[in-house]
Amino acid sequence: MKKSASVLIGDAVGVGHFVVCNVVLLAGQFLPLFQTFGGKHPGLRFIYQHIDAMVYEYFKYSADARPEDVFYTLGVGELIILLSSVIYGFAAYVLLKAVIFILD
């Protein structure tokens, strides 16, 4: 089964976003590069403020509910990254489908 270009590009955008956010999360945890964002998880703070701010606003209270629990905080962070990846991939797919529809 052959997939269309818009499906492939949408998938690439979603997977690329997920991979980049997880690299930033790990870099923020272990490197002093993101220490200006403060807190126990500066990489996660960077992602919340600059990359996934839209989705974080919906889950702000859940994400900040238990800052002392590392597994809960990082788990909710991963869910926010995953949801953002799905949204960005779907938006890329819809945008490309619209452009192809208009150009045809």
pLDDT digits (tens, 9 = 90+) for 15-63: 999 999 999 998 888 888 777 777 788 888 889 888 998 888 888 887 7
pLDDT by residue (tens digit) across 54-102? 888 888 887 777 777 788 888 888 999 999 999 999 999 999 999 989 9
CA dihedral 16, 58, 98, 3 (to 10 degrees): 40
Distance CA 104, CA 94 (A): 15
Distance CA 93, CA 71 (A): 33
CA distances from 78 to 8, 23, 40, 89 (A): 23, 12, 16, 16
Contact 13, 88 (CB under 8 A): yes
Q: What is the reported pLDDT for 87?
A: 95
Structure tokens at 82: 């995953």
Q: Where are the domains of the chain?
A: 5-103
